Structure 1
Amino acid sequence: MSGLEMLAAAAAVFAAYLVRGVSGFGSALIAVPLLVHVFPLTFVVPFMAVMDVIAAVFLTGAGLRDRRVRWREVGWLIPTTVAGIAIGLLLLVGMDGQALQLALGIFVVAFGLRNLLGLQAHKIVSPWWSIPAGLVGGGIGAVFSTGGPPYVIYLSHRLADKGELRATMSAIFLLDGSIRIVGLLIAGLLLQPQLGWFLLAGLPLMAAGLYVGHHIHVGLSQRQMTIVVALLLLVSGGSLIYRMLPDFW
Protein backbone atom coordinates (compact mmCIF):
# COMPACT_ATOMS: atom_id res chain seq x y z
CA MET A 1 0.00 0.00 0.00
CA SER A 2 1.16 3.53 -0.78
CA GLY A 3 0.99 6.26 1.83
CA LEU A 4 -2.00 7.82 0.05
CA GLU A 5 -3.87 4.51 0.03
CA MET A 6 -3.20 4.04 3.76
CA LEU A 7 -4.49 7.55 4.49
CA ALA A 8 -7.61 6.98 2.38
CA ALA A 9 -8.31 3.66 4.11
CA ALA A 10 -7.89 5.26 7.54
CA ALA A 11 -10.25 8.11 6.59
CA ALA A 12 -12.83 5.59 5.35
CA VAL A 13 -12.75 3.67 8.63
CA PHE A 14 -13.03 6.85 10.75
CA ALA A 15 -15.91 8.20 8.63
CA ALA A 16 -17.68 4.83 8.78
CA TYR A 17 -17.69 4.71 12.58
CA LEU A 18 -18.54 8.38 12.90
CA VAL A 19 -21.71 7.52 10.94
CA ARG A 20 -22.22 4.44 13.15
CA GLY A 21 -21.96 6.61 16.26
CA VAL A 22 -24.51 9.06 14.86
CA SER A 23 -27.10 6.66 13.50
CA GLY A 24 -26.42 3.23 15.03
CA PHE A 25 -25.77 1.66 11.62
CA GLY A 26 -24.04 2.31 8.31
CA SER A 27 -20.38 1.68 9.12
CA ALA A 28 -19.97 -1.12 6.58
CA LEU A 29 -22.16 0.70 4.04
CA ILE A 30 -19.67 3.57 4.12
CA ALA A 31 -16.42 1.65 4.55
CA VAL A 32 -16.80 -1.44 2.34
CA PRO A 33 -17.35 0.34 -1.01
CA LEU A 34 -14.36 2.58 -0.25
CA LEU A 35 -12.00 -0.08 1.12
CA VAL A 36 -12.50 -2.41 -1.86
CA HIS A 37 -10.73 0.20 -3.96
CA VAL A 38 -7.60 -0.94 -2.09
CA PHE A 39 -8.30 -4.48 -0.77
CA PRO A 40 -10.15 -7.52 -2.16
CA LEU A 41 -13.74 -7.97 -1.01
CA THR A 42 -12.85 -11.26 0.69
CA PHE A 43 -10.43 -9.32 2.93
CA VAL A 44 -12.68 -6.31 3.59
CA VAL A 45 -15.73 -8.37 4.62
CA PRO A 46 -14.07 -10.22 7.55
CA PHE A 47 -12.23 -7.03 8.58
CA MET A 48 -15.48 -5.06 8.83
CA ALA A 49 -17.33 -7.99 10.40
CA VAL A 50 -14.93 -8.05 13.36
CA MET A 51 -14.81 -4.25 13.64
CA ASP A 52 -18.60 -4.00 13.60
CA VAL A 53 -19.03 -6.58 16.34
CA ILE A 54 -16.61 -4.65 18.57
CA ALA A 55 -18.48 -1.40 17.84
CA ALA A 56 -21.81 -3.11 18.54
CA VAL A 57 -20.57 -4.24 21.95
CA PHE A 58 -20.01 -0.62 22.99
CA LEU A 59 -23.25 0.72 21.49
CA THR A 60 -25.36 -2.15 22.80
CA GLY A 61 -23.80 -1.68 26.25
CA ALA A 62 -24.87 1.97 26.20
CA GLY A 63 -28.37 0.94 25.13
CA LEU A 64 -28.59 -1.61 27.94
CA ARG A 65 -27.58 1.00 30.51
CA ASP A 66 -30.34 3.28 29.23
CA ARG A 67 -32.79 0.34 28.89
CA ARG A 68 -33.40 1.25 25.26
CA VAL A 69 -32.95 -2.19 23.62
CA ARG A 70 -36.25 -3.79 22.59
CA TRP A 71 -35.36 -7.48 22.80
CA ARG A 72 -38.71 -8.67 21.47
CA GLU A 73 -37.87 -7.10 18.11
CA VAL A 74 -34.43 -8.71 18.14
CA GLY A 75 -35.99 -12.11 18.84
CA TRP A 76 -38.23 -11.89 15.79
CA LEU A 77 -35.22 -11.28 13.50
CA ILE A 78 -32.69 -13.87 14.70
CA PRO A 79 -34.01 -17.16 13.16
CA THR A 80 -34.22 -15.92 9.56
CA THR A 81 -31.01 -13.93 9.98
CA VAL A 82 -29.13 -17.18 10.65
CA ALA A 83 -30.59 -18.72 7.47
CA GLY A 84 -29.69 -15.61 5.46
CA ILE A 85 -26.10 -15.67 6.69
CA ALA A 86 -25.66 -19.29 5.58
CA ILE A 87 -26.93 -18.46 2.08
CA GLY A 88 -24.76 -15.34 1.87
CA LEU A 89 -21.55 -17.14 2.81
CA LEU A 90 -22.11 -19.62 0.00
CA LEU A 91 -22.43 -16.70 -2.43
CA LEU A 92 -19.32 -14.95 -1.06
CA VAL A 93 -17.01 -17.89 -1.66
CA GLY A 94 -18.59 -18.94 -4.96
CA MET A 95 -19.43 -15.81 -7.00
CA ASP A 96 -17.35 -13.44 -9.14
CA GLY A 97 -15.91 -10.63 -7.02
CA GLN A 98 -16.35 -7.85 -9.61
CA ALA A 99 -20.04 -8.60 -10.10
CA LEU A 100 -20.56 -8.59 -6.34
CA GLN A 101 -18.82 -5.23 -5.99
CA LEU A 102 -20.95 -3.62 -8.70
CA ALA A 103 -24.09 -5.03 -7.06
CA LEU A 104 -22.91 -3.58 -3.74
CA GLY A 105 -22.43 -0.12 -5.25
CA ILE A 106 -25.93 -0.15 -6.79
CA PHE A 107 -27.46 -1.37 -3.54
CA VAL A 108 -25.75 1.34 -1.45
CA VAL A 109 -26.75 4.14 -3.86
CA ALA A 110 -30.36 2.91 -3.96
CA PHE A 111 -30.57 2.91 -0.16
CA GLY A 112 -28.98 6.36 0.01
CA LEU A 113 -31.50 7.78 -2.50
CA ARG A 114 -34.36 6.23 -0.56
CA ASN A 115 -33.26 8.06 2.59
CA LEU A 116 -32.40 11.34 0.86
CA LEU A 117 -35.74 11.58 -0.95
CA GLY A 118 -37.70 10.65 2.15
CA LEU A 119 -39.41 7.67 0.53
CA GLN A 120 -39.90 5.89 3.84
CA ALA A 121 -43.42 5.30 5.06
CA HIS A 122 -44.01 5.65 8.79
CA LYS A 123 -46.80 3.19 9.60
CA ILE A 124 -46.22 0.33 12.05
CA VAL A 125 -45.89 -3.00 10.22
CA SER A 126 -46.53 -6.58 11.30
CA PRO A 127 -43.66 -8.45 13.01
CA TRP A 128 -44.01 -11.07 10.27
CA TRP A 129 -42.04 -8.66 8.07
CA SER A 130 -39.05 -9.74 10.18
CA ILE A 131 -38.87 -12.89 8.01
CA PRO A 132 -37.80 -11.17 4.74
CA ALA A 133 -35.85 -8.55 6.73
CA GLY A 134 -33.82 -11.24 8.48
CA LEU A 135 -33.22 -13.33 5.36
CA VAL A 136 -32.11 -10.37 3.23
CA GLY A 137 -30.19 -8.66 6.04
CA GLY A 138 -28.32 -11.83 6.97
CA GLY A 139 -27.56 -12.66 3.32
CA ILE A 140 -26.33 -9.19 2.36
CA GLY A 141 -24.37 -8.96 5.60
CA ALA A 142 -22.55 -12.21 4.89
CA VAL A 143 -21.66 -11.18 1.32
CA PHE A 144 -20.85 -7.49 1.84
CA SER A 145 -20.78 -7.01 5.64
CA THR A 146 -23.51 -4.39 4.97
CA GLY A 147 -26.70 -6.06 6.14
CA GLY A 148 -27.96 -2.99 7.99
CA PRO A 149 -30.54 -1.56 5.53
CA PRO A 150 -33.10 -4.40 5.69
CA TYR A 151 -32.93 -4.32 9.50
CA VAL A 152 -33.15 -0.52 9.56
CA ILE A 153 -36.15 -0.46 7.19
CA TYR A 154 -37.97 -3.06 9.28
CA LEU A 155 -37.14 -1.63 12.72
CA SER A 156 -37.89 1.94 11.65
CA HIS A 157 -41.46 0.70 11.01
CA ARG A 158 -41.61 -0.86 14.46
CA LEU A 159 -39.88 1.72 16.70
CA ALA A 160 -40.54 5.46 16.58
CA ASP A 161 -37.98 6.62 19.17
CA LYS A 162 -34.53 7.22 17.61
CA GLY A 163 -32.74 6.16 20.81
CA GLU A 164 -34.63 2.86 20.96
CA LEU A 165 -34.02 2.36 17.24
CA ARG A 166 -30.25 2.89 17.55
CA ALA A 167 -29.95 0.65 20.62
CA THR A 168 -32.07 -2.16 19.14
CA MET A 169 -30.19 -2.03 15.83
CA SER A 170 -26.90 -2.30 17.72
CA ALA A 171 -28.18 -5.38 19.56
CA ILE A 172 -29.21 -7.15 16.34
CA PHE A 173 -25.91 -6.15 14.70
CA LEU A 174 -24.03 -7.65 17.66
CA LEU A 175 -25.84 -10.98 17.37
CA ASP A 176 -25.80 -10.97 13.55
CA GLY A 177 -22.10 -10.09 13.47
CA SER A 178 -21.17 -12.77 16.01
CA ILE A 179 -22.91 -15.42 13.90
CA ARG A 180 -21.21 -14.12 10.74
CA ILE A 181 -17.80 -14.28 12.40
CA VAL A 182 -18.33 -17.97 13.17
CA GLY A 183 -19.29 -18.55 9.53
CA LEU A 184 -16.29 -16.58 8.24
CA LEU A 185 -14.00 -18.59 10.50
CA ILE A 186 -15.42 -21.86 9.16
CA ALA A 187 -14.94 -20.54 5.60
CA GLY A 188 -11.29 -19.70 6.41
CA LEU A 189 -11.65 -15.98 5.70
CA LEU A 190 -10.60 -14.91 9.21
CA LEU A 191 -7.26 -16.69 8.90
CA GLN A 192 -5.78 -14.36 6.28
CA PRO A 193 -2.27 -12.96 6.85
CA GLN A 194 -2.13 -9.33 8.03
CA LEU A 195 -5.82 -9.23 9.05
CA GLY A 196 -4.91 -9.04 12.73
CA TRP A 197 -2.54 -6.10 12.17
CA PHE A 198 -5.17 -4.18 10.22
CA LEU A 199 -7.69 -4.79 13.00
CA LEU A 200 -5.27 -3.38 15.58
CA ALA A 201 -4.69 -0.32 13.41
CA GLY A 202 -8.42 0.15 12.87
CA LEU A 203 -9.52 0.03 16.52
CA PRO A 204 -8.33 3.56 17.48
CA LEU A 205 -9.99 4.97 14.35
CA MET A 206 -13.20 3.15 15.25
CA ALA A 207 -13.13 4.44 18.84
CA ALA A 208 -12.55 8.03 17.70
CA GLY A 209 -15.33 7.84 15.12
CA LEU A 210 -17.83 6.40 17.62
CA TYR A 211 -16.94 9.06 20.20
CA VAL A 212 -17.40 11.97 17.79
CA GLY A 213 -20.51 10.40 16.24
CA HIS A 214 -22.19 9.87 19.60
CA HIS A 215 -21.82 13.54 20.48
CA ILE A 216 -23.17 14.56 17.08
CA HIS A 217 -26.13 12.18 17.54
CA VAL A 218 -27.32 14.05 20.62
CA GLY A 219 -27.77 17.32 18.71
CA LEU A 220 -29.25 16.05 15.43
CA SER A 221 -32.90 15.66 14.55
CA GLN A 222 -34.03 12.40 12.95
CA ARG A 223 -34.33 14.06 9.51
CA GLN A 224 -30.91 15.74 9.73
CA MET A 225 -29.32 12.42 10.68
CA THR A 226 -31.04 10.71 7.73
CA ILE A 227 -29.79 13.33 5.23
CA VAL A 228 -26.18 13.17 6.45
CA VAL A 229 -26.08 9.37 6.23
CA ALA A 230 -27.79 9.40 2.82
CA LEU A 231 -25.22 11.78 1.31
CA LEU A 232 -22.35 9.67 2.60
CA LEU A 233 -23.97 6.55 1.14
CA LEU A 234 -24.33 8.19 -2.28
CA VAL A 235 -20.65 9.18 -2.33
CA SER A 236 -19.50 5.76 -1.12
CA GLY A 237 -21.67 3.66 -3.44
CA GLY A 238 -21.21 6.01 -6.40
CA SER A 239 -17.44 5.77 -6.17
CA LEU A 240 -17.63 1.98 -6.36
CA ILE A 241 -20.00 2.00 -9.35
CA TYR A 242 -17.67 4.45 -11.14
CA ARG A 243 -14.72 2.16 -10.49
CA MET A 244 -16.43 -1.08 -11.53
CA LEU A 245 -18.49 -0.05 -14.58
CA PRO A 246 -15.58 0.02 -17.09
CA ASP A 247 -15.07 -3.71 -16.44
CA PHE A 248 -18.63 -4.41 -17.65
CA TRP A 249 -18.66 -2.34 -20.85
Structure 2
Amino acid sequence: MVIDLPFPWVTLLSATLIIALAYTIYGLTGFGSSITAVPLLTHFLPLRSVVPMMLIFDLGAGIVLGLRNRSAVARDELLRIIPFMVAGMLVGVTLLVRAPQRPLLVTLGCFILAYAAWNLAFRAPQRSISVAWAAPLALLGGLFTALFGTGGPIYVAYLARRLPDVRALRATISTLIFFSGLARLVLFTSVGLYKQPHVLQLALALLPVVMGGLYLGSHLSRKLPAHRIVQAVWGILIAGGTSLIWHNL
Protein backbone atom coordinates (compact mmCIF):
# COMPACT_ATOMS: atom_id res chain seq x y z
CA MET A 1 0.00 0.00 0.00
CA VAL A 2 1.38 3.40 -1.00
CA ILE A 3 0.58 6.33 1.33
CA ASP A 4 0.53 9.67 -0.47
CA LEU A 5 1.61 12.42 1.95
CA PRO A 6 1.58 16.11 0.94
CA PHE A 7 4.77 17.05 2.79
CA PRO A 8 8.11 18.22 1.37
CA TRP A 9 10.71 15.46 1.21
CA VAL A 10 12.85 17.36 3.73
CA THR A 11 9.99 17.21 6.25
CA LEU A 12 9.41 13.49 5.69
CA LEU A 13 13.11 12.65 5.88
CA SER A 14 13.59 14.75 9.02
CA ALA A 15 10.53 13.20 10.71
CA THR A 16 11.79 9.71 9.84
CA LEU A 17 15.24 10.37 11.34
CA ILE A 18 13.80 12.01 14.46
CA ILE A 19 11.36 9.14 15.11
CA ALA A 20 14.12 6.57 14.52
CA LEU A 21 16.35 8.38 17.04
CA ALA A 22 13.57 8.80 19.63
CA TYR A 23 12.51 5.15 19.64
CA THR A 24 16.07 3.88 19.55
CA ILE A 25 16.53 5.86 22.78
CA TYR A 26 13.25 4.37 24.09
CA GLY A 27 14.53 0.89 23.31
CA LEU A 28 17.86 1.67 24.99
CA THR A 29 16.56 3.30 28.15
CA GLY A 30 12.82 2.60 28.47
CA PHE A 31 11.96 6.32 28.36
CA GLY A 32 12.54 9.49 26.40
CA SER A 33 10.60 9.02 23.15
CA SER A 34 8.26 12.02 23.35
CA ILE A 35 10.60 14.33 25.23
CA THR A 36 13.22 13.69 22.52
CA ALA A 37 10.98 13.74 19.44
CA VAL A 38 8.41 16.48 20.16
CA PRO A 39 10.81 19.48 20.37
CA LEU A 40 12.59 18.34 17.19
CA LEU A 41 9.46 17.49 15.21
CA THR A 42 7.86 20.87 15.93
CA HIS A 43 10.52 22.50 13.74
CA PHE A 44 8.82 20.76 10.79
CA LEU A 45 5.22 20.02 11.83
CA PRO A 46 2.57 21.82 13.95
CA LEU A 47 2.50 20.95 17.66
CA ARG A 48 -1.19 20.02 17.39
CA SER A 49 -0.26 17.37 14.81
CA VAL A 50 2.90 16.12 16.52
CA VAL A 51 1.36 15.38 19.94
CA PRO A 52 -1.51 13.11 18.74
CA MET A 53 0.85 11.37 16.31
CA MET A 54 3.36 10.62 19.08
CA LEU A 55 0.53 9.22 21.20
CA ILE A 56 -0.16 6.58 18.54
CA PHE A 57 3.51 5.61 18.53
CA ASP A 58 3.71 5.41 22.33
CA LEU A 59 0.61 3.23 22.55
CA GLY A 60 2.02 0.96 19.84
CA ALA A 61 5.34 0.72 21.66
CA GLY A 62 3.55 -0.01 24.93
CA ILE A 63 1.57 -2.86 23.35
CA VAL A 64 4.69 -4.33 21.72
CA LEU A 65 6.79 -4.18 24.89
CA GLY A 66 3.89 -5.17 27.13
CA LEU A 67 3.04 -4.20 30.69
CA ARG A 68 5.55 -6.28 32.61
CA ASN A 69 5.46 -7.17 36.31
CA ARG A 70 1.83 -6.14 36.63
CA SER A 71 1.55 -7.99 39.94
CA ALA A 72 4.05 -5.52 41.43
CA VAL A 73 1.98 -2.40 40.62
CA ALA A 74 1.44 -0.10 43.62
CA ARG A 75 -2.31 0.34 43.23
CA ASP A 76 -2.62 2.73 46.17
CA GLU A 77 -0.24 5.17 44.44
CA LEU A 78 -2.17 4.88 41.17
CA LEU A 79 -5.41 5.69 42.97
CA ARG A 80 -3.81 8.85 44.39
CA ILE A 81 -2.38 9.99 41.06
CA ILE A 82 -4.96 9.14 38.40
CA PRO A 83 -7.84 11.51 39.40
CA PHE A 84 -5.53 14.53 39.53
CA MET A 85 -3.69 13.43 36.40
CA VAL A 86 -6.97 13.32 34.46
CA ALA A 87 -7.88 16.80 35.76
CA GLY A 88 -4.52 18.11 34.55
CA MET A 89 -5.08 16.45 31.16
CA LEU A 90 -8.39 18.27 30.74
CA VAL A 91 -6.64 21.61 31.25
CA GLY A 92 -3.78 20.55 28.97
CA VAL A 93 -6.03 19.50 26.10
CA THR A 94 -7.91 22.80 26.35
CA LEU A 95 -4.63 24.72 26.08
CA LEU A 96 -3.37 22.51 23.24
CA VAL A 97 -6.48 23.24 21.18
CA ARG A 98 -6.95 26.93 22.03
CA ALA A 99 -3.63 28.49 23.05
CA PRO A 100 -1.20 30.05 20.52
CA GLN A 101 1.54 27.61 19.51
CA ARG A 102 4.58 29.84 20.05
CA PRO A 103 4.19 30.32 23.86
CA LEU A 104 3.50 26.60 24.21
CA LEU A 105 6.73 25.72 22.42
CA VAL A 106 8.76 28.13 24.55
CA THR A 107 7.20 26.51 27.65
CA LEU A 108 8.17 23.08 26.35
CA GLY A 109 11.75 24.23 25.70
CA CYS A 110 12.05 25.64 29.23
CA PHE A 111 10.61 22.43 30.71
CA ILE A 112 13.10 20.26 28.82
CA LEU A 113 16.08 22.40 29.87
CA ALA A 114 14.93 22.41 33.50
CA TYR A 115 14.46 18.63 33.44
CA ALA A 116 17.89 18.01 31.94
CA ALA A 117 19.58 20.46 34.33
CA TRP A 118 17.89 18.86 37.35
CA ASN A 119 19.08 15.39 36.38
CA LEU A 120 22.62 16.57 35.67
CA ALA A 121 22.95 18.68 38.82
CA PHE A 122 21.28 16.59 41.53
CA ARG A 123 22.80 13.19 42.13
CA ALA A 124 22.33 12.94 45.90
CA PRO A 125 20.30 10.01 47.28
CA GLN A 126 16.61 10.81 47.11
CA ARG A 127 14.55 10.82 50.31
CA SER A 128 10.98 9.66 50.61
CA ILE A 129 8.32 12.36 50.20
CA SER A 130 4.81 12.75 51.56
CA VAL A 131 1.68 11.56 49.74
CA ALA A 132 0.60 15.22 49.85
CA TRP A 133 2.82 15.74 46.78
CA ALA A 134 0.69 13.34 44.74
CA ALA A 135 -2.02 15.90 43.91
CA PRO A 136 0.12 18.85 42.67
CA LEU A 137 2.62 16.67 40.80
CA ALA A 138 -0.13 14.58 39.19
CA LEU A 139 -1.92 17.76 38.08
CA LEU A 140 1.32 19.11 36.59
CA GLY A 141 2.13 15.75 35.01
CA GLY A 142 -1.32 15.51 33.46
CA LEU A 143 -0.99 19.04 32.09
CA PHE A 144 2.36 18.34 30.40
CA THR A 145 1.22 14.89 29.27
CA ALA A 146 -1.74 16.33 27.37
CA LEU A 147 0.16 19.35 26.04
CA PHE A 148 3.39 17.70 24.93
CA GLY A 149 3.34 14.00 25.90
CA THR A 150 6.19 14.75 28.34
CA GLY A 151 4.57 14.23 31.75
CA GLY A 152 6.42 10.98 32.41
CA PRO A 153 9.44 12.59 34.19
CA ILE A 154 7.08 14.31 36.64
CA TYR A 155 5.38 11.03 37.57
CA VAL A 156 8.80 9.41 37.94
CA ALA A 157 9.98 12.25 40.23
CA TYR A 158 7.14 11.42 42.64
CA LEU A 159 7.05 7.63 42.39
CA ALA A 160 10.82 7.21 42.65
CA ARG A 161 10.62 8.78 46.13
CA ARG A 162 7.64 6.68 47.15
CA LEU A 163 8.60 3.22 45.88
CA PRO A 164 12.04 1.94 46.91
CA ASP A 165 11.43 -1.40 45.17
CA VAL A 166 12.71 -1.06 41.58
CA ARG A 167 10.33 -3.73 40.25
CA ALA A 168 7.32 -1.99 41.80
CA LEU A 169 8.53 1.39 40.50
CA ARG A 170 8.90 0.19 36.90
CA ALA A 171 5.59 -1.68 36.95
CA THR A 172 3.70 1.29 38.41
CA ILE A 173 5.23 3.80 36.00
CA SER A 174 4.56 1.64 32.93
CA THR A 175 0.95 1.05 34.00
CA LEU A 176 0.41 4.75 34.71
CA ILE A 177 1.89 5.86 31.37
CA PHE A 178 -0.14 3.29 29.44
CA PHE A 179 -3.34 4.40 31.21
CA SER A 180 -2.52 8.05 30.52
CA GLY A 181 -2.09 7.15 26.85
CA LEU A 182 -5.56 5.62 26.69
CA ALA A 183 -7.04 8.65 28.47
CA ARG A 184 -5.32 11.01 26.02
CA LEU A 185 -6.59 8.96 23.09
CA VAL A 186 -10.16 9.53 24.28
CA LEU A 187 -9.57 13.24 24.91
CA PHE A 188 -7.75 13.88 21.62
CA THR A 189 -10.44 12.05 19.66
CA SER A 190 -13.23 13.97 21.42
CA VAL A 191 -11.74 17.38 20.55
CA GLY A 192 -11.08 16.40 16.92
CA LEU A 193 -7.28 16.29 16.87
CA TYR A 194 -7.38 13.09 14.80
CA LYS A 195 -9.58 14.78 12.21
CA GLN A 196 -6.65 16.95 11.15
CA PRO A 197 -5.55 16.19 7.59
CA HIS A 198 -2.85 13.54 7.22
CA VAL A 199 -2.09 13.01 10.96
CA LEU A 200 -3.18 9.37 10.89
CA GLN A 201 -1.59 8.78 7.46
CA LEU A 202 1.76 10.13 8.61
CA ALA A 203 1.58 8.08 11.80
CA LEU A 204 0.85 4.94 9.78
CA ALA A 205 3.73 5.66 7.41
CA LEU A 206 6.19 6.15 10.29
CA LEU A 207 5.02 3.25 12.47
CA PRO A 208 7.54 0.80 10.92
CA VAL A 209 10.29 3.31 11.83
CA VAL A 210 9.08 3.20 15.44
CA MET A 211 9.29 -0.59 15.54
CA GLY A 212 12.71 -0.53 13.89
CA GLY A 213 13.97 1.97 16.45
CA LEU A 214 12.67 -0.15 19.32
CA TYR A 215 14.41 -3.23 17.93
CA LEU A 216 17.69 -1.37 17.36
CA GLY A 217 17.59 0.21 20.82
CA SER A 218 16.88 -3.11 22.54
CA HIS A 219 19.76 -4.69 20.62
CA LEU A 220 22.20 -1.87 21.41
CA SER A 221 21.25 -1.82 25.10
CA ARG A 222 23.13 -5.09 25.54
CA LYS A 223 26.31 -3.63 24.02
CA LEU A 224 26.55 0.03 25.05
CA PRO A 225 27.44 1.32 28.58
CA ALA A 226 24.36 2.72 30.31
CA HIS A 227 26.02 5.93 31.55
CA ARG A 228 27.11 6.85 28.02
CA ILE A 229 23.58 6.36 26.76
CA VAL A 230 22.15 8.61 29.47
CA GLN A 231 24.76 11.31 28.76
CA ALA A 232 23.81 11.24 25.07
CA VAL A 233 20.11 11.58 25.95
CA TRP A 234 20.78 14.65 28.13
CA GLY A 235 22.82 16.20 25.32
CA ILE A 236 19.98 15.68 22.83
CA LEU A 237 17.42 17.12 25.27
CA ILE A 238 19.51 20.23 25.95
CA ALA A 239 20.03 20.82 22.23
CA GLY A 240 16.34 20.29 21.48
CA GLY A 241 15.12 22.53 24.31
CA THR A 242 17.56 25.31 23.42
CA SER A 243 16.59 25.23 19.74
CA LEU A 244 12.89 25.45 20.63
CA ILE A 245 13.37 28.54 22.78
CA TRP A 246 15.69 30.20 20.25
CA HIS A 247 13.42 29.48 17.29
CA ASN A 248 10.22 30.69 19.00
CA LEU A 249 11.58 33.78 20.68
Write the deviation string for residues 2-26 of structure 1: whole angstroms up to 9, x where unpaired. Answer: 3232221111111111222233322
One-letter identity of the residue aligned with 1:27: S
> Does residue 210 of the first structure (1) align with residue 228 of the second (2)?
no
Contact 1:53 1:173 in 2 (8 A): no
Contact 1:14 1:205 in 2 (8 A): yes
Among 57, 64, 84, the alignment partner of 2:69 is 64
Determine the C-alpha separation between the residues in 1 that align with 2:128 and 2:221: 24
Tell me which moved more, 78-87 or 46-55.
46-55
Determine the C-alpha separation between the residues in 2 that align with 1:74 and 1:220: 33
Structure-to-structure mapping, 1:17-32, within 5 angstroms = 17-32=23-38
Contact 1:60 1:167 in 2 (8 A): no
Report the equivalent of 1:159. Answer: 163
Write the deviation string for residues 97-149 of structure 1: whole angstroms up to 9, x where unpaired. Answer: 11101111111111111112235651122333221221111111111121112
Contact 2:109 2:244 in 1 (8 A): yes
Q: Per the alignment, in what secondary structure is the counterpart of residue 141 of structure 1? A: helix
> Does residue 51 of the first structure (1) align with residue 57 of the second (2)?
yes
Shift of 1:241: 1.6
> Percentage identity across aligned positions?
37
**Distance of aligned partners of 1:207 and 1:75 in 2 relative to their CA distance in 1, 3 Å threshold:** farther
**Normalising by the residue count of structure 1, what TM-score does the alignment of the two structures yield?**
0.87
Report the equivalent of 1:177. Answer: 181
Tell me which moved more, 138-147 or 18-27.
18-27
Determine the C-alpha separation between the residues in 2 that align with 1:56 and 1:134: 21
Report the equivalent of 2:4. Answer: none
**Normalising by the residue count of structure 2, what TM-score does the alignment of the two structures yield?**
0.87
**Distance of aligned partners of 1:226 and 1:168 in 2 relative to their CA distance in 1, 3 Å threshold:** farther
Tell me which moved more, 228-237 or 212-221.
212-221
Report the equivalent of 2:42. Answer: 36
> Does residue 90 of the first structure (1) align with residue 100 of the second (2)?
no
Determine the C-alpha separation between the residues in 2 that align with 1:197 and 1:106: 31
Tell me which moved more, 180-189 or 52-61.
52-61
Structure index of larger Rg: 2
Report the equivalent of 1:80. Answer: 84
Structure-to-structure mapping, 1:109-128, within 5 angstroms = 109-119=113-123, 121-128=125-132
Gaps of 5+ in 1: none
Shift of 1:156: 2.1
Q: Per the alignment, in what secondary structure is the counterpart of residue 162 of structure 2? A: coil
**Distance of aligned partners of 1:216 and 1:158 in 2 relative to their CA distance in 1, 3 Å threshold:** farther
One-letter identity of the residue aligned with 2:179: L
Gaps of 5+ in 2: 1-6
Contact 2:69 2:167 in 1 (8 A): no
Write the deviation string for residues 199-239 of structure 1: whole angstroms up to 9, x where unpaired. Answer: 11221111122223234445677755543332221122122
**Distance of aligned partners of 1:216 and 1:115 in 2 relative to their CA distance in 1, 3 Å threshold:** farther
Shift of 1:194: 1.0
Contact 1:159 1:165 in 2 (8 A): yes
Report the equivalent of 2:147. Answer: 143
**Distance of aligned partners of 1:119 and 1:22 in 2 relative to their CA distance in 1, 3 Å threshold:** same
Write the deviation string for residues 25-47 of structure 1: whole angstroms up to 9, x where unpaired. Answer: 22111111111111111111111
> Does residue 102 of the first structure (1) align with residue 116 of the second (2)?
no
Q: Which of the pair is proportionally richer in helix?
A: 1
Report the equivalent of 2:17. Answer: 11
Shift of 1:85: 0.4
**Distance of aligned partners of 1:33 and 1:99 in 2 relative to their CA distance in 1, 3 Å threshold:** same
Shift of 1:96: 1.1
Contact 2:24 2:215 in 1 (8 A): yes
